[in-house]
Amino acid sequence: GLTQYQPNVCKDTVLLGRFPRRNQFLSEYIWRKTGQRRTPRQVGSRLQQLRDSSVGQQRT
């Protein structure tokens, strides 16, 4: 799935650690694989939740 994601690599992207249109890519991937619609915003929100929860687990 995510191995197919190929972001445009530019200086700004590398410096900021951003992944342009990643959430859009994941949204479309979820729809193709499961038939369930998720907006890029929903995907981003869930990724943030997972990121926050994994940080909390590392501290304890």
| Residue 29 contacts residue 21 (beta carbons within 8 Å) | no
Output the pLDDT for position 3: 72
Task: Tell me the chain's radius of gyration from C-alpha atoms.
Answer: 14
Q: Is the pLDDT of residue 9 over 70?
A: no
Buried b (16+ CB within 10 A) or exposed e, 38-60: beeeebbeeeeeeeeeeeeeeee
User: What whole-number distance in Å separates Cα of residue 43 and Cα of residue 27?
Assistant: 7
- pLDDT tens track for 13-52: 666 666 778 899 899 999 999 999 999 999 999 999 998 9
Residue type, 33: K
Q: Is the pLDDT of residue 55 over 90?
A: no
Q: Six-digit token pair at 9?
A: 């690599």
Which has the higher per-residue pLDDT, 58 or 53? Answer: 53
Domain count within the chain: 1
Output the pLDDT for position 31: 96
Which has the higher per-residue pLDDT, 55 or 23? Answer: 23
